[in-house]
Amino acid sequence: DSGVTQTPKHLITATGQRVTLRCSPRSGDLSVYWYQQSLDQGLQFLIQYYNGEERAKGNILERFSAQQFPDLHSELNLSSLELGDSALYFCASSVGEFYNSPLHFGNGTRLTVT
């Protein structure tokens, strides 16, 4: 158990809808990262937050947004969902702002858009 908690585990929704994925980092970790994993793309970095502030941005679509709250949990909001958004979404956390320490991943949220 990595100590990173993601909810829900599974999510099935229709195209055009909006969903929110939630992540609680390991105790003491200040950085939260969001990754998307699909069969043909591998693990793609979306966004990183450190202590409540956006730190780095990857290939995150404009329809997607995220935030990190004062208690350090994070939410990833996906809107105007398309079939191609179906994927496994991972949250990871680490102690520092940079990659000095390894990332610890949650078990992911499997999103299916129908």
Site for another protein, rule CB under 8 A: 2, 4, 33, 35, 42-45, 48, 55-56, 58, 90, 98-99, 102-108
Q: Buried b / exposed e across 89-101, counting CB within 10 Å, b at 16+?
A: bbbbbbeeeeeee
CB of 83 to another protein, least distance (A): 22
Q: How many CA within 13 A on the CB side of residue 104? A: 20
Indicate the residue among 64 and 90 with the shorter CB distance to another protein.
Answer: 90
Indicate the residue among 4 and 76 with the shorter CB distance to another protein.
Answer: 4
CB of 102 to another protein, least distance (A): 4
Omega before 25 within 30 of 0, i.e. cis: no
Indicate the residue among 10 and 14 with the shorter CB distance to another protein.
Answer: 10
| Contact in structure between 46 and 108 (CB atoms under 8 Å) | no
Indicate the residue among 20 and 45 with the shorter CB distance to another protein.
Answer: 45
Q: Which amino acid is at 14?
A: A
CB of 43 to another protein, least distance (A): 4
- Name 1's Cβ contacts closer than 8 Å, sequence gap at least 6: none
CB of 97 to another protein, least distance (A): 9
